[in-house]
Amino acid sequence: MTGNAPTTEQVSSLLDDRDLVVVSNREPYSHEYEDGEVTVSRPAGGLTSALDPVMQSVGGTWIAWGSGDADHAVTDEDGRVGVPPESPAYTLRRVPLSDERVEGYYYGYSNQVLWPVCHLDTAKVNARDEFWQQYREANRAFADAVCGEAGDDPVVWFQDYHLALAPRFVKANRPDAFCMQFWHIPWPSRDVFRACPQYERLLEGLLGNDLVGVHTDAYCRNFLDCAAALPGATVDRATRSVVYDGHRTFVRPFPLGVDAEHHRDLARSDAASRFWREFGDRHGLADVAVALGVERLDYTKGIPERLAALERLWETRPAWRGELTYVQKASVSRGEIPAYQRLQERVRSEVERINDRFATDDWQPVVYVEDHLPQTGLAALYREADLCLVSALRDGMNLVAKEFIASQVQDPGVLVLSELTGASEELGEEALTIHPRDTHGFADAIERGLRLPSDDRGRRMCELQRQVHASDVYAWLDAQFRTVRAIRRGRQRATPPRGR
């Protein structure tokens, strides 16, 4: 946690000392068996690592799916374990889900219905009835855990699209709970959202919340448009709120940021320099320009489109052969789903084909890495990259763009950014903006980025860094907790004192 992180007093005061209960699909700590011994793995994602210190300081409860194979061996009979393991500061309550439930709720409904719908790829929707049944049951299990754990007047904070139904289940049992949810992926327009057969049930679930947060203004407008078409719902665009079933839900944009100071420190670390010396030597990167892409192997991230633009560049501008190397850090993700398996095969074979086409004895055009890198390794790649290529076909935000910016502690590099990312709303002015499917324009932007004079690069990066530091993950937390307080205070003022 860095200097920008809110203190315990600040968080507690914004929450009026109410208990904080975070609910997410993924857990912040997982226990696994390794050679018969139980080991703990640590938060990996940006969000868990930002929320974990907040939870440690306010001592709340975090409810999540217990996915580690030793998870349930270390909990008490109610599925609770104190974390962090070495000095417990808050409670992690693990929700057990059977393999069948995970199959239907996570790999099925969450990632083969909601994920493609929200990323506007309706052709990939696989809406099997049993996926929906399992999604509902899993949401019920999370909601039951919340009702079992939460003290009086809690603030219950749901994360993401896996949990769209749980807020209404909780509210029905615990009307005293302030329920809020952050939706990390895009919210599509009404026409697209309707591709999901249960779109009305999903909206009803989400409207059990008091506050729904999304990354951008555009997603906020889309959500209100969808709610306006829900029978029985009334939308008030002036206050950006929806009244449904006698209950008002506020909808607000809260653009998520990264822990910018932490990323800057990682990029300055000796461990990052050691990583780079070894990595750069192994792949012959000392005397070439380096372009970088970092993502999960997901069809929304536009990896084949990016490879096509790079191929076009090396094909039509041969001067860049031997001069520019592209490093693709790709993590295998959701490998049980056929669309993901196909993408993995396609990316691997495209990399191989492009390398066969252009490689020389002393130069390989694409360096492809599927290993999970330590944070300092990733920081080294960000720091040394001359270009970061973000070409998502749709992306709720895209934290890689922000991590790259925060890690630029040496000669400033250039961000090439898809206009179809949430991040483009904040960073689009000083990045080189591309459309990921415009191969020719994308190739031009790569070359332009490589040729940008250093004063222009410096000015752009300075402005981008100002933005990323000002809107970091702690500003995101602060804005949400302040909104919670404002809504609660507004309601208290509107409620006549008892007895009158």
Residues that bind ligand GDG (CB under 6 A): 45-47, 184-185, 256, 294-296, 329, 331, 372-373, 375, 378, 395-400, 403
Angle, CA of 117, 123 and 127, to the nearest 5°: 65
Q: Which is nearer to ligand GDG, 185 or 230 (CB)?
A: 185
Strand partners, 292: 327, 388
- Cis, bond preceding 453 (omega within 30 deg of 0): no
What angle separates helix 375-384 from helix 260-267, to the nearest 10 degrees?
A: 80
Q: Which is nearer to ligand GDG, 81 or 113 (CB)?
A: 113
Q: Which is nearer to ligand GDG, 232 or 374 (CB)?
A: 374
Q: Which is nearer to ligand GDG, 187 or 358 (CB)?
A: 187
Residue 493 beta carbon to ligand GDG: minimum distance, rounded to whole angstroms: 33
Residue 48 beta carbon to ligand GDG: minimum distance, rounded to whole angstroms: 10
Q: Which is nearer to ligand GDG, 101 or 329 (CB)?
A: 329
Residue 369 beta carbon to ligand GDG: minimum distance, rounded to whole angstroms: 8
> Comparing C-alpha atoms, which of 282, 296, 370 is closest to residue 325?
282
Angle, CA of 437, 439 and 440, to the nearest 5°: 140
Q: Which is nearer to ligand GDG, 46 or 154 (CB)?
A: 46
State which H helix or E strand residue 83 sits in: strand 80-83
Q: Which is nearer to ligand GDG, 288 or 473 (CB)?
A: 473
State which H helix or E strand residue 81 sits in: strand 80-83
Residue 148 beta carbon to ligand GDG: minimum distance, rounded to whole angstroms: 28
Residue 397 beta carbon to ligand GDG: minimum distance, rounded to whole angstroms: 3
| Helix, strand, or coil (residue 252) | strand
Nearest-angstrom CA–CA distance, 399 and 472: 11
Q: Which is nearer to ligand GDG, 67 or 133 (CB)?
A: 67
Residue 44 beta carbon to ligand GDG: minimum distance, rounded to whole angstroms: 6
Pairing type for strands 37-41 and 30-34 reads antiparallel
CA distances (Å), origin 440, targets 144, 249, 307, 457: 53, 44, 12, 22
Residue 41 beta carbon to ligand GDG: minimum distance, rounded to whole angstroms: 12
Q: Which is nearer to ligand GDG, 278 or 456 (CB)?
A: 278
Residue 245 beta carbon to ligand GDG: minimum distance, rounded to whole angstroms: 28
Q: Which is nearer to ligand GDG, 150 or 388 (CB)?
A: 388
Nearest-angstrom CA–CA distance, 92 and 82: 6
Nearest-angstrom CA–CA distance, 213 and 480: 8
Strand ranges in 357-439 using DSSP code E only, listed in sequence order = 366-369, 387-390, 414-418, 432-434
Residue 104 beta carbon to ligand GDG: minimum distance, rounded to whole angstroms: 21
Q: Which is nearer to ligand GDG, 313 or 399 (CB)?
A: 399
Nearest-angstrom CA–CA distance, 58 and 22: 12
Nearest-angstrom CA–CA distance, 290 and 23: 39
Residue 248 beta carbon to ligand GDG: minimum distance, rounded to whole angstroms: 25
- The backbone region for 238, taken as left when phi is positive above 0, alpha when psi lies in -120 to 50, beta otherwise, is alpha
Nearest-angstrom CA–CA distance, 449 and 294: 18
Using an 8 Å Cβ cutoff, are 363 and 328 in contact? no
Residue 306 beta carbon to ligand GDG: minimum distance, rounded to whole angstroms: 14
